[in-house]
Chain A
Amino acid sequence: MRTFFFTTILLFATGCSSPSEPESFTQNVEGTDFSFEMVPVLSQNGNFWISRTEVPWDLYDIFLQFINSPDNLYAGVDAITGPTPAYASVDRGFGRTGYPAISMSAQAAESFCAWLSSKTGKTYKIPTIQQWKKANTLGGGAWHKWNANKTTHPIATTDPNTIGLYDMRGNVGEWVTTDAGPRVIGGSFRTPAEELGSGTLLEATRGWNVTDPQLPRSPWWFADADYVGLRLVTMNGDSNE
């Protein structure tokens, strides 16, 4: 189940690419049956690869499982610091398998990237805003305020944009880095259709975690920002076969 649409996409992508150009690749995650696909984006500032979809819970949960495993909890100085379990059900009941991971802070997104990098041997990050804009090509469907019925939708259930990326605009907003710090870009299922895209750039505020009943409020989870998700980039695509 976890790989069904990635396999379909891979066939499509392989058929499109020519041998002289950077190619998309499938990233396996060691010790799991989960894989995801990275799509090349040509850029004068260096080609990069960006994930074809938003990161689903399927992958984020593997990360959470590791962080909270006895192996990591008892690893002492070697432990990876990452999200402790959330106080509330941060998936909001929207759905888990195949649905985009949501409600994570920028700090959590960075911890996730660090874990994924250690797991795969490639350096994964959240995109810079420039990378995100470069990848935000024309075309593609979107889940937005007028059609999403107040919920996230499974990843890649609308049309891809012209380079084959799903949900760049809408479904969940996506973390990017900017000179001013991390921001959430693209709009989400809560954003009016006419406001989707790079014009919607949000900064985390206190309001994103106002109903966390605990103090200190979680540095890893937002109790009130169910529209925040993430997408991955790497510069290490060429090292693939």
Chain B
Amino acid sequence: METPMSDVTRREFVKAASAVTAIGATTLPSWAVQEKRDPIKVGFIGCGGRGTGAANQALTANKDAVIWAMGDAFEDRLIGSMNSLVGEQGERAQVPRERQFVGFDAFQKVIDSGVDMVILTTPPHFRPEHIAAAVKAKKHVFCEKPMAVDGTGVRSVMESTALAKKNDTNLMSGFCWRYNPALRATFEQLHNGAIGEIESYFATYYAAPLWTKPRKESWSDMEWQMRNWVHYDWLCGDHIVEQACHSVDKINWAMKNEAPISCTSVGGRQMHEGIDRGNVYDHFGVMYEYADGRRMQLHCRQMPFCYNDNNDYITGATGTCIVNGWTGAPVMTGSSSWTYTGEQANMYQVEHNELQAAIRGDTPTINDGDFMAQSTLMAILGREAAYTGQRISFEEMLNSTTRLGPKDYAFGELAIPPIAEPGTTKLNR
């Protein structure tokens, strides 16, 4: 993770992105011809609410799947998660004591326990290392968004993406809108020119703050930050990376994974709610500039009791499209009045249905690595442009040497990182 890839360029990133389609479309896994189907052994790393939901969806998608091993930094989280899963799925989620792993190294123990696939749903800071270890061990991967919190992490994810392609193992992202039937149909329309060439994309993620975990006296600094992780940039990447990355990914999707050349942002921390809120910002306004001069924007906010919006407003050369941020259903005007009339499916379940089908060999191998790495990097770019107050190029961001967070993981003292100050904070810090 520490190795900088100094020569990665935007062009290479885009080229890698186009290569994946060809590989994904033509290659079937070597074991696709297996007749006997052994139970899929699922390793589950990061036993929070979302991860537990994902594990439940994996078991729902495949009645032959079992939770084989679980790992978390905290035993109470692991046990609570397992109990929830057992309540939904019964014995298939009952993990014996010897395969319940607790601690910072739990991920490796889960990977080494004989699993076929892993669900990676810890706080995002740890994701690149976990993806790397799982892909290296040739495990199929479902990894939640975002995939990293800094450029260093994204470069690691890119390396893992290449290795997963080489090994022909599945690498699925939690950018769930890519698996929403309504949005898939909508973006197909957009890519086919329903509203002409896309001239501007304005994405919104105006939402309320996420939860806060009050500190217990027995918790060290590290334990508190880990349990309260959505409030620290090093753990969650800030809310533009942790939450609004969905909207960034939709911009990236609309632009067919073409990387922007640069980004300018504003952001800040307007709601002063004290130490429970860590060092993150509560609003960002981001502008991505593309090579042909087009500018795409994202506004996101986590403030209570305000007007919320999660729609995307797209203007094309011949029409407009509003993408509903809850149902995915679009409203088009101008050159197209197309509406989505197909099935409404739970995208979180669709992901795991498709992943299990790919693991079984019924469908081609999935590798979301290129777009997931790029969308994550774009979200980080939006944050860094705001944090620093500078116009930052995509390549500068990709090659940034910053690695957020402590070098070694241990439960003990850990100061809350300073709140970024535009004009003072540096990209490489």
Contact = CB atoms under 8 A, between A and B. Distances in A.
Interface residues of A, number: 27
A96 B305 contact: yes
A61 interface: yes
A96 B347 CA distance: 27
A85 interface: yes
Interface in A214-238: 214-216
A96 B307 contact: yes
Interface in A64-112: 64-65, 68, 70, 73-74, 84-89, 91-93, 95-97
A215 B305 contact: no
A210 interface: yes
A192 interface: no
Interface in B118-157: none
Nearest to A64: B304
| Among all A-B residue pairs, the 10 with the closest Cβ atoms | A214-B49, A215-B52, A73-B214, A215-B53, A61-B305, A89-B308, A213-B53, A89-B207, A214-B53, A93-B309
Interface residues of B, number: 36
Given A88-B326, A91-B308, 18 more contacts: A57-B305, A61-B305, A85-B208, A85-B209, A85-B211, A89-B207, A89-B326, A92-B326, A96-B305, A211-B346, A214-B48, A214-B49, A215-B53, A215-B55, A215-B81, A215-B85, A216-B49, A216-B84
Contacts of B274: 70
A230 B105 CA distance: 48
A85 B308 contact: no
B212 interface: yes
B305 A85 contact: no
Contacts of B209: 85
Contacts of B74: none
Contacts of B415: none
Nearest to A210: B346
A65 B49 contact: no
Nearest to A91: B308
B208 A214 contact: no
B56 interface: yes
B155 to A, nearest CB: 28
A65 B304 CA distance: 8
Contacts of B308: 89, 91, 93, 96
A89 B310 contact: yes
A57 B274 CA distance: 25
B276 A214 contact: no
Interface in A174-229: 210-216
B212 A214 contact: no
A207 to B, nearest CB: 10
- Tell which of A64, A68, A210, A211 has the most Cβ of chain B within 10 Å: A211
A93 B311 contact: yes
A93 B310 contact: yes
A96 B49 CA distance: 27
Contacts of A57: 305
A64 B347 CA distance: 29
B176 to A, nearest CB: 8
Contacts of B208: 85-86, 89
Contacts of A214: 48-50, 52-53
A214 B368 CA distance: 22
Nearest to A76: B214
Nearest to A212: B53
B291 interface: no
A222 to B, nearest CB: 13
Contacts of A91: 308
Contacts of B210: 85
A215 B88 CA distance: 9
A201 B104 CA distance: 50
B33 interface: no
A91 B211 CA distance: 17
A70 B276 contact: yes
B348 interface: yes
A96 B301 CA distance: 15
A84 B211 contact: yes
A213 B53 CA distance: 6
A211 B348 contact: yes
Interface in B202-260: 206-212, 214
A28 B286 CA distance: 41
Contacts of B206: 89
A213 B307 contact: no
Interface string B56-100: 100000000000000000000000010011001000000000000
B307 A97 contact: yes
Nearest to B310: A89
Contacts of A215: 49, 52-53, 55-56, 81, 84-85, 88
Contacts of B53: 212-215
27 contacts: A57-B305, A61-B304, A64-B305, A65-B304, A65-B305, A68-B211, A68-B212, A70-B276, A73-B214, A89-B206, A89-B325, A93-B308, A93-B310, A95-B307, A97-B307, A210-B346, A211-B346, A211-B348, A213-B53, A213-B54, A213-B176, A213-B348, A214-B48, A215-B52, A215-B84, A216-B49, A216-B52
B242 to A, nearest CB: 12
Contacts of A88: 207, 326
B22 interface: no
Nearest to A217: B53
Interface in A38-64: 57, 61, 64
A74 B212 CA distance: 11
A183 B365 CA distance: 46
